[in-house]
Amino acid sequence: MTTIWADWGFLFIAGLVFGFFNSRQVAAKASIFFNRYYLAAFLFQTLFCMPLAIYCYVVFPDWCWMYWVDAHQVPLVWVILAFLGYYLAMSMGFGLAAFAEKLKPGLGRMILRICLAAFLVFLIVFFKRLFFVGSIEEFRAGALPFFARREPLFALLIVGFSLAIAALIYILVYLGKDLDRPWSKDDQANFERRKRIVSLYRVENDVKTALRNSLNAWSGLEYLKDLLARQGMRVILKPNLAGGGKGLRGTQTSPEILAAAIDIIREAAPQAEIIAVESGSIFWWDLENCYAGSGHERVLKEKGVRFVNLSREPLVARDLGGRFGRDLFPALLLQPHVLVDLPVAKTHAYFRMSGAMKNLFGLTPRAHKLLLYHSKGFADREGQIFIDLYRAFTPALVIMDGIDSGEGEGPFGSAKRTDFIITSDDAVCADLVLAEIMGYPVKAVPYLHALEQAGLCAKFDRVGAPVEKVRPPDWKKPSVRILSLLINTLRILAHHHRIKAPAPCKKP
């Protein structure tokens, strides 16, 4: 929202965003443009972009033409056509993204990436014409001030752009609810009919002993044996191997709990094939940098367990419905297996806590996370995507690592010694107990609250230690979401720098 040419590019990309993120809803309509999704994009442009663009032209018309023409020589009809071009640019972006996604899933995403890169190049190449504001005479004389020195304009641009981005996020949140997969009465009945159990145990000395005691308290080993006999002898372990980075306890599943889980599964089913899986994240795009040389790699090699980076696995198209719809998923997850969820208990800046359900996000391949699923996090404040994962890839067993938990500005916060283990046959129930330990009411954790609002009541029995005996005196919570997310980003960047820096030479 600076010059006419930049505005055309910006609004073309805004149209791409609306068309891409609402492509599935648009595809279900008879027309690309006669629907409320295009209407939302039209209103967004009219209310949040056009007023500021018109103000800029009235005050600095030469700047709006980027000093390529003298604004006083441009006929009024061309000015009107230029502003009508704003709507054309947005409409072209919307139609292109929606049609491309309908033609081939992922094509709209690719077009959006290319256009964002091209727009960035445009901003760099024409930096002076875009960000130095004045008249064409000042431009020719080389006397243009930087736009930050045009105080009323600068303030309006900052406020206007901030309002536009906030409105864009809010509109996507509102429209994104159309993707939520409804729970039928049969779904609710099946969900509530299941008998569930959660076992909470303190870790006093040996981790493996505590885990075995927790499982034995509800015949968990017999339950696991029966599952493997019925569903095949392949176990997929899903620990959190990325987290905040190599060796940062409280952000990753600890090597101790990973080793104990493998030993106990082998005791229950010596012939079982065990595979540990994880995928890259937006902070650990190349998972190998985080995994190589870690305690997790050492444990898996010692135990003879194969590690699979799901971001490098062959992908197969499946329609999971809900927020995912038809998308690509690792073929390994679509083969018969028993899924064992091994999360670490920690706080989370956006979803307040990260446990068994949030850990399932690591089943999605890396290539989808940044532009598709993480971006949809802004349009999915309830965490419906975690509920969709829970329904599609339901863990048969949850072993939650609460030995060193995470507190503060999670998910990459500070380690807190809490010494507990949660085992359960259901991820929702395990997370309900974790929320209670952390001191969160259900309504404070978006995805648990969403289940409650859907009328789903997860009934379960408890065994082991009472929550009061395990709950620490205080568990530091994340601060304001934006501040907490910024702190997380700075921490992980600093950690990346530390592990990439060469080790200092030792003196002989």
DSSP E strands, 313-358: 315-319, 326-330, 338-342, 344-348, 352-354
**pLDDT of 50 strictly over 60:** yes
The three-class DSSP label of residue 109 is helix
Return phi, psi of residue 39, to 5°.
-60, -40
Beta bridge partners of 275: 236, 306
Distance CA 84, CA 22 (A): 24
Confidence of residue 508 (pLDDT cuts 50, 70, 90): very low
The three-class DSSP label of residue 403 is strand
What pLDDT does residue 349 have? 84
DSSP states along 370-383: IIIIIHHHHT-TT-
- Which segments of 292-412 does DSSP mark as H helices, in order? 295-303, 356-359, 366-368, 375-378, 384-392
Distance CA 491, CA 478 (A): 14
Higher pLDDT, 252 or 325: 252
Distance CA 143, CA 141 (A): 5
**pLDDT of 368 strictly over 70:** no
Q: Residue 445 is encoded by which pair of tokens?
A: 């954790």
Q: Residue 96 is encoded by which pair of tokens?
A: 């292109």
Give the 3-state secondary structure of 240-259: CCCCCCCCCECCECCHHHHH
What pLDDT does residue 371 have? 52
User: Beta-carbon neighbour count of residue 441 at 10 Å?
Assistant: 10
Q: Both ends of the chain: CA-CA distance in Å?
A: 61
In angstroms, the Cα distances linking 489 to 368, 485, 495 are: 20, 6, 10
Distance CA 321, CA 179 (A): 8
In angstroms, the Cα distances linking 210 to 205, 206, 406, 464 are: 8, 6, 20, 11
User: Beta-carbon neighbour count of residue 425 at 10 Å?
Assistant: 22
Determine which of 111-125, 150-164, 201-215 has the lowest per-residue pLDDT on average: 150-164
Q: List the one residue out of 330, 395, 322 whose CA is nearest residue 357.
A: 395
Confidence of residue 502 (pLDDT cuts 50, 70, 90): very low
User: Beta-carbon neighbour count of residue 474 at 10 Å?
Assistant: 9
Looking at residues 323-349, what average pLDDT do you find? 91
Determine which of 62-66, 127-131, 253-257, 328-332 has the lowest per-residue pLDDT on average: 328-332
Q: List the one residue out of 256, 254, 302 whose CA is nearest residue 415.
A: 254
Distance CA 434, CA 428 (A): 10
DSSP states along 150-184: SHHHHHHHHHHHHHHHHHHHHHHHHHHGGGPPPPP
What pLDDT does residue 374 have? 53
Segments making up each domain of the chain, as ranges: 4-179, 186-500
**Cβ(26)–Cβ(19) below 8 Å:** yes
275-321 pLDDT, tens digit per residue, is 999 988 777 777 888 898 999 999 999 999 999 999 889 988 888 88
Question: Which stretch, 148-152, 483-487, 501-505, has highest mean pLDDT?
Answer: 148-152
Beta bridge partners of 309: 278
What pLDDT does residue 323 have? 82
Higher pLDDT, 410 or 355: 355
What pLDDT does residue 498 have? 61
Query: What is the maximal distance between C-alpha atoms in the chain?
Result: 85
What pLDDT does residue 460 have? 93
- Domain 186-500, CATH: 3.40.50.11440
Q: List the one residue out of 368, 346, 305 whose CA is nearest residue 434.
A: 346
Looking at residues 417-446, what average pLDDT do you find? 96
**pLDDT of 481 strictly over 90:** no
DSSP state of 414: E
Looking at residues 77-95, what average pLDDT do you find? 96
Determine which of 253-267, 442-456, 479-493 has the lowest per-residue pLDDT on average: 479-493
C-alpha 171, offset from chain centre: 18
- List Cβ neighbours of 485 (8 Å cut-off, separation of 6 or more): 349, 350
Looking at residues 92-119, what average pLDDT do you find? 92
**Cβ(154)–Cβ(148) below 8 Å:** yes
**Cβ(262)–Cβ(305) below 8 Å:** yes
Q: Residue 482 is encoded by which pair of tokens?
A: 């934006």
